[in-house]
Chains A and B, each alone.
Chain A
Amino acid sequence: MLNEGPQLELLLRRMSACPPEFLETCEAVAGGPQLAAIIADHLRSFGSEQLTAKRKLWLETIRDRPADRKQAVRYWGVLGVATWLLHEEWFLQRPDLLELGCQWLCSDVLVQLSELVRPELVISDPDRREELVRLCLRAHGLRPAGEANSQSNDRLNTLDSVERQRILAATAEAERRAREVREAMARKRALESSSRYGE
């Protein structure tokens, strides 16, 4: 059961307003001091003790992944945009949700999303923008204000890049295997078969 969160439009507008520097700085420094500064600014809004407690953990988690440099840059880009989203006033007024926000930033969800979606699309493409917003709300146990649970679930399922990719990959794999089996069944040794005893 999801709780009611902010208006979807509010968060979408914030995403559209994400300064391009968030992507550029992340890319340029590859997760270095600028990204750390973005995250630190966000944490500082909740008080200096939060900054101390969480920043080190974040940066260690972020630095460890992903191993591939090019992929890492994409991930850091998505992470920068996600931090921008969390800096919306609605979340800043809810320190009780800070822990969930931190978990979301460190979660595999954003790593997987960055493997499939370029960070600039998360800002410029309406569907990907909405996907990130809905993923963010879901991670906080929230649904957009005015939406029913089922409506919210359906919309996220429609937009979910990771799930769509998983289904496509599973379908392709199933088709490949079915083709292999059919080919094996058509081989001479399969058609000739062995003897049968009473069956």
Chain B
Amino acid sequence: MYPELSEAERFPLLTQQGRRFLQAMRQHAHAPLWNWPNGEQLNAAGLERVQQFANQLASGTEGKSLVEPQWLTDFTDHCLQMVPFYRSRARIGTRFEDLPTCRRADLAPRVWQFVPDDEPIDELITFSSSGTTGEPTRTPHHPYSAACGIPLLEHALQSQCGVKMLRGSDQVAIVNVVAYPGAYTTAIVMAYLQEAGCIRVNLDRSAWRSDNDCRQYLTAWLAPVWLGDPVAFGALDQIDLGYAPAAIISSIMHLHSGYAERLRSRYSCPVLDVYAMTEAGIIGVRDTSIEGAGHRVIAPDLYIEILDDVGRRCEPGVRGEITLTGGRNPLMPLLRYRTGDYAALETDEGGRVLRDLLGREPVEYVGESGQKVHSMEIVRLMREFPVRRYGLREISLGYELELVGDVDRIALGERMHKLLGERFCGFAEG
């Protein structure tokens, strides 16, 4: 069933107990149709780095103010010396605020130019990312930087509502829910949580063997933390699980406060809205204790600037484009990376706050027979073609696709038609 990577490659630190638990999750009578049997690929050195990062988070001393952090000069010099893309655009010694910014359109066509020359690539993994900006690509990451998402989630939970992640190889700590046909599904154990489980399930009916399996599988594990996006939580609403989680974490897409409140009252549990992106991981979490509300920045290793349209720094409290430097991905260090997201940055006694963050709106398209088509379905379809950039625009009769790339438009058009029926009106001119 899992022919490509060995178990030792997927789980270098797997114990006997962890193996039994992994099998229990994967071979459960009501388990979904797994289509992505991956692992953390995290070895002892990687786990040690995750632990160090968790300690840094726990110390709570870094990344609290708006002034340039001490590490910024060394980090910048390293980028200008070792990263081909940055090296080609500025010399060492350039004032930080004079360094050119970059954005996804720079990254997507040449991600390998963002990998430092002195960084080993034998543990390199990739994440595909997409979609919301219309610049699909795969980006290089390290298993360590990916696994740092767990302490960041735990930090968000503890700081916002005092919830601690479960540990030990006999319980599922996180269920990650998605809801669109073809979404990846997997069950893993997480070394940082002493092999507690994380299952990723697709609530779409096509991902299960029989009607009732989804409910039975989820209630078999009673995962206390639900992770997903607003569209997936909407799908979860339709399933009577008969239990409430300890916390719900919404990510990837913008969670409207009205919908967050509805989730809160339905499940009587805290609902967290996490701000994250593939390029930088988790950045912040919405903090309702902040006067006027805002997202508390929890990533201590990210230096954040807010820039106006011509690249000048905005004053604290003035909205502009969120621009990132630093991060924990050694294979794709970010130097003045413009995210395409907008907010104002300021500080309070708890540290940095992003106010009025405008994240990515959840998008559902309506097909010919009125069925909803999740934006991720479009993203996944685009990945199958050599699309460099795209945008699906609503017009009076349905949707038309703007496209850049040497693509077989007849084949892509047929696939779009399958998704949206007559609501797909073809390709935009030019």
**Same complex origin of A and B:** yes
Scoring A residues 149 to 172 as 1 if CB is less than 8 Å from chain B, else 0, what string do you get?
000000000000000000000000
Say which residue of B38, B227, B274 sits within 8 Å of A194 (CB atoms): B38
Assess whether B125 is in contact with A178, with CB atoms less than 8 Å apart: no
Q: Known interface pairs A194-B39, A197-B149, A198-B274. Does A181 touch B140 (Cβ–Cβ under 8 Å)?
A: yes
Question: Which of B84, B117, B124, B252 is most buried by chain A, counting CB atoms within 10 A of its CB?
Answer: B124
How large, as a class, is the contact surface on chain B? 35 or more
Q: Known interface pairs A177-B117, A181-B140. Does A194 touch B41 (Cβ–Cβ under 8 Å)?
A: yes
Rounded to whole Å, the gap between the CB of A44 and the closest CB of chain B is: 46
- Residues of A contacting B276 in the complex (Cβ-Cβ under 8 angstroms): 198-199
Within 8 Å of chain A (Cβ to Cβ): is B127? yes
In whole angstroms, how far apart are the Cα atoms of A189 and B122 in the complex?
10
Say which residue of A178, A190, A191 sits within 8 Å of B84 (CB atoms): A178
Q: Assuming A182-B112, A191-B126, A195-B146, what are 12 further A-B pairs, CB within 8 angstroms?
A: A184-B124, A184-B140, A192-B4, A193-B141, A194-B41, A195-B40, A195-B190, A197-B198, A197-B282, A198-B249, A199-B276, A199-B281
Q: Known interface pairs A185-B112, A192-B5. Does A198 touch B84 (Cβ–Cβ under 8 Å)?
A: no
Within 8 Å of chain A (Cβ to Cβ): is B278? yes
Assess whether A190 is in contact with B125, with CB atoms less than 8 Å apart: yes
Say which residue of A181, A192, A198, A199 sits within 8 Å of B112 (CB atoms): A181
Assess whether B112 is in contact with A193, with CB atoms less than 8 Å apart: no
How many A-B pairs fall under 8 Å by CB? 100
Within 8 Å of chain B (Cβ to Cβ): is A24? no
Q: Known interface pairs A195-B186, A199-B277. Does A184 touch B38 (Cβ–Cβ under 8 Å)?
A: no
Scoring B residues 185 to 200 as 1 if CB is less than 8 Å from chain A, else 0, what string do you get?
0101010000000101
Q: How many residues of A contact B (CB 8 A)?
A: 21
Assess whether A198 is in contact with B140, with CB atoms less than 8 Å apart: no
Chain B, 131-146, CB within 8 A of any chain A CB: 138, 140-141, 143, 146
Rounded to whole Å, the gap between the CB of A171 and the closest CB of chain B is: 11
- Residues of B contacting A181 in the complex (Cβ-Cβ under 8 angstroms): 112, 115, 121, 124, 140
Within 8 Å of chain B (Cβ to Cβ): is A196? yes
In whole angstroms, how far apart are the Cα atoms of A198 and B117 in the complex?
29
Rounded to whole Å, the gap between the CB of B106 and the closest CB of chain A is: 15
- Residues of B contacting A197 in the complex (Cβ-Cβ under 8 angstroms): 146, 149-150, 152-153, 174, 176, 198, 227, 282
Assess whether A178 is in contact with B113, with CB atoms less than 8 Å apart: yes
Within 8 Å of chain B (Cβ to Cβ): is A188? yes
Q: Taking CB as reference atom, which chain B residue is nearest A186?
A: B126
In whole angstroms, how far apart are the Cα atoms of A178 and B110 in the complex?
9
Assess whether B125 is in contact with A189, with CB atoms less than 8 Å apart: yes
In whole angstroms, how far apart are the Cα atoms of A191 and B4 in the complex?
11
Q: Taking CB as reference atom, which chain A residue is nearest B144?
A: A194
Interface SS, B side:
mixed
In whole angstroms, how far apart are the Cα atoms of A178 and B147 in the complex?
26
Within 8 Å of chain A (Cβ to Cβ): is B42? yes
Within 8 Å of chain B (Cβ to Cβ): is A174? yes
- Residues of B contacting A188 in the complex (Cβ-Cβ under 8 angstroms): 4-5
In whole angstroms, how far apart are the Cα atoms of A55 and B315 in the complex?
65
Scoring B residues 241 to 284 as 1 if CB is less than 8 Å from chain A, else 0, what string do you get?
00000000101100000000000000000000010111011100
Scoring A residues 110 to 148 as 1 if CB is less than 8 Å from chain B, else 0, what string do you get?
000000000000000000000000000000000000000
Rounded to whole Å, the gap between the CB of A23 and the closest CB of chain B is: 40
Q: Known interface pairs A185-B138, A198-B153. Does A180 touch B84 (Cβ–Cβ under 8 Å)?
A: no
In whole angstroms, how far apart are the Cα atoms of A180 and B140 in the complex?
13
- Residues of A contacting B112 in the complex (Cβ-Cβ under 8 angstroms): 178, 181-182, 185
In whole angstroms, how far apart are the Cα atoms of A196 and B227 in the complex?
11
Within 8 Å of chain A (Cβ to Cβ): is B9? yes
Q: Taking CB as reference atom, which chain A residue is nearest B278?
A: A199
Rounded to whole Å, the gap between the CB of A196 and the closest CB of chain B is: 6
Rounded to whole Å, the gap between the CB of A195 and the closest CB of chain B is: 5
Could you give 29 example pairs across A and B, Cβ below 8 Å? Answer: A177-B84, A178-B112, A181-B124, A182-B112, A184-B124, A185-B126, A187-B124, A189-B125, A192-B5, A192-B10, A192-B36, A192-B38, A193-B126, A194-B38, A194-B40, A194-B146, A195-B38, A195-B146, A195-B176, A195-B188, A196-B146, A197-B149, A197-B150, A197-B176, A197-B227, A198-B152, A198-B249, A199-B149, A199-B277
Q: Taking CB as reference atom, which chain A residue is nearest B46?
A: A194
